[in-house]
Structure 1
Amino acid sequence: MTKEQAEDKIKRLTEELNHHNYLYYVQSEPEISDFEFDMLLKELQELEALFPEFADENSPTKRVGGDITKKFPSVVHRFPMLSLSNTYSEEEITDWEARLKKLASGDLEYVCELKYDGVAIGIRYVGGKLVQAVTRGDGTQGEDITANVRTIRTIPLQLRGDFPEDFEIRGEIFFPLENFHALNNYREELGEPLFANPRNTASGTLKLQDSSVVAERGLDCFLYGVYGADGVESGHFEMVQHAGEWGFKIPPVKQRYIEKHTTIKGIMEFIHFWDKQRNDLPFEIDGVVIKVNSYQQQDDLGFTAKSPRWAIAYKFKTERVETILESVDFQVGRTGAVTPVANLRPVALGGTTVKRASLHNADQIEKLDLHIGDAVYVEKGGEIIPKIVGVNTELRQSGAEKVSFIEFCPECKAGLIRREGEAQHFCPNELGCPPQITGRMEHFISRKAMDIDGMGAETIELLFKKGLIHDVADIYHLQFDDLVKLDRMADKSVNNLLQGVEASKQIPFERVLFALGIRFVGETVAKKLAKAFGSIDKLIAASFDELIAVDEIGEKIAMSIQYHFQQSENIEIIRRLRDSGLQFEMEVKELASNLLEGASVVVSGVFETVSRDELKKLIEDNGGKNVGSISAKTTYLVAGENMGPAKLEKATKLGVQIISEKEFLTLIGKA
């Protein structure tokens, strides 16, 4: 392929992928399958690696992340991001509307919008391309988080239609509840502290240094405020609709996320509607925002020192109810983490009947000073299950039993332990505690792990109860004659299950590694380990220093990996799984060359010709190994602009060869 052909192909693939991304994530009307989309994306990635000079900084391949940002620089806002005046009073909304009528000339139209509980963002586009994304900060200046924002698939990298040459659009990045709950469920399984709520988690996610982790979490965004596009539309509502034509995900009118009204009655109806319906939304809101629609009238009304006169936010009161604590259960997860759950007298909260609430750990129980029979305050604020936030001690009964954390596992009676620096208690009986055994098997067969069709949590429980499986390796020795005798297991369902088991033998190594359920080894870590070591044998044999040299592998993860492989039972399970035909080596890819064979390479800084991701791919394509930290075994440090002085000093001290981007590309024949 000539350079001209490659440039044209990259351009056409980019346009095609941007179009399908818009149809899938913004319009919810996909035209091609996920597989077809992934194949197009893979083709573009391969072309960009071969012809990096034609790779655009807003390429669809940037959606998967991978850029590492050590520091988010401060940026002064071109248009100040002022906060709104808040109120919890409908009377104050009425007074505000009455004041505006006296101050403004002409009839007023109001735009009512949802107040998304997320992170305010301002995104600048030049020539239709995303060039910068900045947080609110203090309203005058914020932080540049462009690399992380590029991973959010509902934010377009390239606009369509008649967009202005240079403008900014603002909105709110939020954590969809489904994705937030899935993340917390996963952390709970690992015995890690749960994230408090979607808003704080979205904010923390956007400040992560590794954009590939941001990409995996599945943040979303609505955009609804256009700045610097004078003369396009005369009103805010019309401008939002126009922005939708450029490819932005805007609040949908059909779902009543945004409406235009001319009376206080219409404003109040919008407030009352969403106060009742907010619990049915797939994301968190904490109120509604009312704005004057006309830009001219906004200019006439002006600003106070802190906020615009032409807009106000009505905030919903936090939902809290009082009920009785009847008892406390203690549940055991697959990692042995013991979680206390309060059983409550049923009470209506947030449109549902609440019977249980999270207590998280022993410290939370002690902090609340809980007693059985207490009148407790319960809130439902983005938690997986509702949360007890306080106790009405005035109603406590004399002689009430104080709630204490248990000392022994409720399932196997083993003595619980609490590791130094951790909040949760654990059952150490990994091999004999039933919920740990079945929990590991349920994790093993899950969709992101071995993805075994025809087998779910109920099937695992049944097979374990009947003595047909005792660990994950037993799954590959199930027999038709044994299964068909079980309740609800007819010929067809048994055949489907066995076919699913057989098909799972083709699952690649990184997912098999994730499926093993090693504590702290999630999807991302499993991928990095699989890529770094290439096989389970090399991973088992890896030293502590070799483990922490892998990008993103810290001491806690390294210690957990070594502990897992020190258990003879785990090694035996791996042997049996390997004998059953599972994949315990990375698929060998054909290399572009072996020029870097045996070389360990650290990439640091910002580069001109190719991105960090592309550099790392070139290292692997030419037989080299990417490592995250410098040691005496490091062969090269590829140094870009703004490289950290600590790495430079360490490399110099250890005598590691330091080469520039140009020297590296010359080394592999790509200069």
Structure 2
Amino acid sequence: MAEYSSKEDMMALIQKLRHYEYCYYVLDQPEVSDSTYDGLYQTLLAIEAAHPDWVQPDSPSQRVGGAVAEGFETVVHQVPLLSLANAFSEEDLYTFDSQVRRSLGKDRVAYSVEYKIDGLSMALTYRDGLLVMGATRGNGQIGEVVTDNIKTIKSVPLRLNEPVGQLVVRGEVYLPKKDFLALNDKRQAADLPLFANARNAAAGSVRQLDPKVAAARPLALRFYDILASSASFSSQAEVLAAIRSWGLRPVEAYHCEGIEAVCQAVQKITADRDQIPYDIDGIVVKVDNLADRSALSVRAKTPRWAIAYKFPAEQQETRITAITTQVGRTGAVTPVAELEPTLVAGSVVSRATLHNEDFIQAKDVRVGDSVLIQKAGDVIPEVVQVLPEKRPAASAPYQFPQTCPSCQSHLIRIEGEAVWRCPNRLGCPAQIQAGILHMAARDALDIDGLGPSLIRQLYEADLIHTAADLFQLSKEDLLPLDRMGDKRADNLLKALEEAKSRPFDRFIYALGIPLVGLNVSQILVRHLQDLDAFQEAREEELLAIDGIGPGIAEAVVGYFEDEANQKLLADLKAAGVSYQVQAQEEVEGRLTGKTFVLTGILPDYSRNEMKALLEKEGAKVTGSVSKKTDYVVAGEEAGSKLDKAQALGIPVLDQAGVLDLLHQ
């Protein structure tokens, strides 16, 4: 280490290692052997250990953080991360081109045609060339800060090749196919659950609170857009070239003059899809000229200058070996086709939904049938066609069961519904276990390590009957269970302790109130800020909340009036389960102190989107008109709120009026 005796020597070593990383991970052209790189890296670690005050933020040693985060912070994206409209045929692409040319008044438009990587969308922020933040797309407006995990990805430079003053780039985190298969092989050898597909594995890796977990997985990241930059560009081709010049890896792209060339590129990529070393779920077509993009602008959620061509769903033939039924937490009984395992769209499928009794009868699905299956949206396996010419001679039509497969209660089917239900809500093991699993889910109380098989063991061992019983478990209760050692028991007890105090919206979602998903929970807790308020709320009060309809209001009131639910809440409280009431942040902006009411249908924004725009500028958005209301925003089909505003003389704005107000 004598040759590296000064800080300047160390800086030169860092520069050398960064160059070797760029050649290996971005260019796929290694300049030195692995052993040579490892030797230099170990030298760097030794220097930094001897001189901790010399450690640089862009040092290769800073790729793996040491601390486990308590939870991810959120960030409002500087530029919204938009989604794309979809095309499903060449005809759709020609229609898109026609609209673009008509809007621009041009006879021909150049496009960039790019691989649509099936991964997790990210925005990375560099300041003076240094990586300062990585954030997930989230809902497009707000994402999770996962900087420490992004730093573990070797193809992502901690410092760019050029000191760009301010840069926000968008890309996609993914796992190459061969690395995904190797990861699943390792998990199988360790008796761990397998990932369903490479996208889930990548997303799950990025959202690990411990960066060392992400570091152990061979993630990659390719970039396709510059959201903000101190540099300027005239075309997408220039954007991708700049991305590469900075040391980032761009997506694969074709420059196409005119829609005919676009369709030829789409045909080539579709034909080569299986040979691409990572999963793509479509092809993105973008107007190449950035000035033309500005002229075309964006809709509320999607740009007018880009479209995603989606591949036709991949279909495979297999055979139904059995038809089983499963009971959900609401008592709905869903038929499932048990299949001879087959590979579909990147994962092995052995089960597929049959939806309900009507679906089975309409397609005449039978045990022993050969069928075509596909993944709906490349995600959910489903049976799309029966092949009756291959049907066994002895097959018989399927008869839907009349009793619950879990508790043998007689099933009921309410008039107007397509599903059969088990009415034994309090005594059906399947419903009870499904409800507990829902409470343990990531978006609910996030009880890490508590999966379906462990819940079943706990229930069958008479250790739990409701979710509240989870928080009374001891290590002595857990150790006799199958595949339960000291470390796993300690981890579960730690996760249960941490789950006792989650944000209030996640606590409400965890209760499993019918029709109340996570988004509805977030809306509700902005108005009902503790459990007492929920228990006292009446339907008319809930209906005054924008976004809450009669069905949700009835479900919420009904849940808290139910004696069994009241007992569960009391038992959870007795077990020490509480929640964090998050203070409503006061946002200072040009509309601070102003109160708005939204009514009717706006041309380009949903109510929630418009609400978010107004609140971002400090406005308060309420559900009812009063003398304290400053503005009513009215769209098509505005009702009584508009009438009341006019009667009270309150200013009424349309969408354009609001946007003018926001940009004054």
Please give the TM-score of this superposition, normalised by the length of structure 1: 0.54
Corresponding residue number in structure 2 for 1:658: 650
| d(CA) in 1 for partners of 2:545, 2:241 | 47
Indicate the SS of the match to 1:60.
coil
1:276 counterpart (255, 274, 277): 274
Alignment pair present for 1:529 and 2:524: yes
| d(CA) in 2 for partners of 1:276, 1:590 | 49
Higher mean displacement: 571-580 or 348-357: 348-357
Q: Deviations over 1:282-324 (max 9, x none)?
A: 55237x9999x99xxxxxxxxxxxxxxxxxx999776434333
Distance 1:617 1:573, change over 3 A: farther
| d(CA) in 2 for partners of 1:83, 1:153 | 37
Which stretches in structure 2 are left out of the alignment for 5+ residues? 1-25, 27-59, 84-98, 120-138, 146-161, 176-198, 200-220, 257-263, 290-307, 589-593, 654-663
Structure 1 residue 353, shift from structure 2 partner: 4.9
2:78 counterpart (60, 80, 85): 60
> How many matched pairs?
453
Distance 1:36 1:479, change over 3 A: closer
Structure 1 residue 394, shift from structure 2 partner: 3.1
Indicate the SS of the match to 1:533.
coil
Corresponding residue number in structure 2 for 1:494: 489
The letter of the residue matching 1:374 is D
Structure 1 residue 467, shift from structure 2 partner: 0.8
1:275 and 1:316 in contact (8 A); partners too: no
Q: Deviations over 1:577-601 (max 9, x none)?
A: 12233335735569899xxxxx997
Distance 1:658 1:349, change over 3 A: closer
The letter of the residue matching 2:329 is R
| d(CA) in 2 for partners of 1:604, 1:248 | 49
Corresponding residue number in structure 1 for 2:334: 339
Corresponding residue number in structure 1 for 2:454: 459
1:78 counterpart (104, 127, 152): 104
2:282 counterpart (280, 285, 293): 285
Q: Deviations over 1:561-617 (max 9, x none)?
A: 223223211111101112233335735569899xxxxx997356999xxx8547548
Distance 1:408 1:247, change over 3 A: farther
Corresponding residue number in structure 2 for 1:12: none
| d(CA) in 1 for partners of 2:239, 2:489 | 54
Corresponding residue number in structure 1 for 2:628: 636
2:282 and 2:310 in contact (8 A); partners too: no
Corresponding residue number in structure 1 for 2:479: 484
Q: Identity of paired residues, percent?
A: 31
Corresponding residue number in structure 2 for 1:516: 511
| d(CA) in 2 for partners of 1:81, 1:520 | 49
Residues 173-192 of structure 1 mapped to structure 2, 5 A cutoff: none
1:437 counterpart (407, 432, 453): 432
Structure 1 residue 475, shift from structure 2 partner: 1.4
1:372 and 1:403 in contact (8 A); partners too: yes
Indicate the SS of the match to 2:509.
helix
Please give the TM-score of this superposition, normalised by the length of structure 2: 0.54
Corresponding residue number in structure 2 for 1:379: 374
Structure 1 residue 454, shift from structure 2 partner: 4.7
Corresponding residue number in structure 1 for 2:533: 538
Corresponding residue number in structure 2 for 1:423: 418
Distance 1:651 1:268, change over 3 A: closer
Structure 1 residue 63, shift from structure 2 partner: 6.5
Distance 1:259 1:249, change over 3 A: farther
Q: Deviations over 1:442-480 (max 9, x none)?
A: 121222211234534333222112111110111121223
| d(CA) in 2 for partners of 1:364, 1:523 | 29
2:597 and 2:632 in contact (8 A); partners too: no
| d(CA) in 2 for partners of 1:270, 1:285 | 12
| d(CA) in 2 for partners of 1:420, 1:543 | 28
Indicate the SS of the match to 2:384.
strand
Corresponding residue number in structure 2 for 1:327: 322
| Greater relative contact order (CA < 8 Å, ≥ 6 in sequence) | 1
Distance 1:382 1:540, change over 3 A: same
Q: Deviations over 1:612-670 (max 9, x none)?
A: 547548989xxxx853355xxx55333156556535533248x6673689xxxxxxxxx
Higher mean displacement: 474-483 or 523-532: 474-483
Q: Deviations over 1:93-139 (max 9, x none)?
A: xxxxxxxxxxxxxxxxx998547899xxxxxxxxxxxxxxxxxxxxx
Alignment pair present for 1:567 and 2:567: no
| d(CA) in 2 for partners of 1:290, 1:626 | 36
Corresponding residue number in structure 2 for 1:242: 241
Distance 1:528 1:487, change over 3 A: same
The letter of the residue matching 2:274 is K
| d(CA) in 1 for partners of 2:421, 2:233 | 61
The letter of the residue matching 1:326 is T
Corresponding residue number in structure 1 for 2:57: none
Residues 6-405 of structure 1 mapped to structure 2, 5 A cutoff: 41=75, 60=78, 77-78=103-104, 113-114=114-115, 238-239=237-238, 241-242=240-241, 244=243, 252-253=251-252, 274-277=272-275, 281-285=278-282, 319-347=314-342, 349-350=344-345, 353-380=348-375, 382-398=377-393, 400-405=395-400
Distance 1:112 1:415, change over 3 A: same
2:445 and 2:502 in contact (8 A); partners too: yes
Distance 1:423 1:510, change over 3 A: same
2:611 and 2:621 in contact (8 A); partners too: no
Distance 1:565 1:246, change over 3 A: farther
Indicate the SS of the match to 2:373.
strand
| d(CA) in 2 for partners of 1:116, 1:551 | 36
The letter of the residue matching 2:371 is V
Q: Deviations over 1:46-69 (max 9, x none)?
A: xxxxxxxxxxxxx6286799xxxx
| d(CA) in 1 for partners of 2:226, 2:486 | 58
Kindly report the root-mean-square deviation, in angstroms, between the aligned alpha carbons of the 2 structures: 5.7
Alignment pair present for 1:406 and 2:401: yes
| d(CA) in 2 for partners of 1:588, 1:36 | 19
Structure 1 residue 486, shift from structure 2 partner: 3.4
2:444 and 2:507 in contact (8 A); partners too: yes
Alignment pair present for 1:555 and 2:550: yes
1:440 and 1:517 in contact (8 A); partners too: yes
| d(CA) in 2 for partners of 1:602, 1:421 | 35
Structure 1 residue 401, shift from structure 2 partner: 0.7
The letter of the residue matching 2:272 is W
Alignment pair present for 1:649 and 2:642: yes
The letter of the residue matching 2:461 is K
The letter of the residue matching 1:341 is V
Higher mean displacement: 469-478 or 356-365: 356-365
Indicate the SS of the match to 2:650.
strand
Distance 1:401 1:516, change over 3 A: same
The letter of the residue matching 2:282 is I
Which stretches in structure 1 are left out of the alignment for 5+ residues? 1-25, 46-58, 66-73, 85-109, 119-147, 155-160, 164-168, 177-197, 199-219, 261-265, 295-312, 594-598, 662-670
Indicate the SS of the match to 1:507.
strand
| d(CA) in 2 for partners of 1:354, 1:413 | 29
The letter of the residue matching 2:78 is P
| d(CA) in 1 for partners of 2:400, 2:563 | 32
Corresponding residue number in structure 1 for 2:10: none
| d(CA) in 2 for partners of 1:337, 1:389 | 22
| d(CA) in 2 for partners of 1:482, 1:639 | 59
Distance 1:117 1:479, change over 3 A: closer
1:637 and 1:656 in contact (8 A); partners too: no
| d(CA) in 1 for partners of 2:612, 2:113 | 43
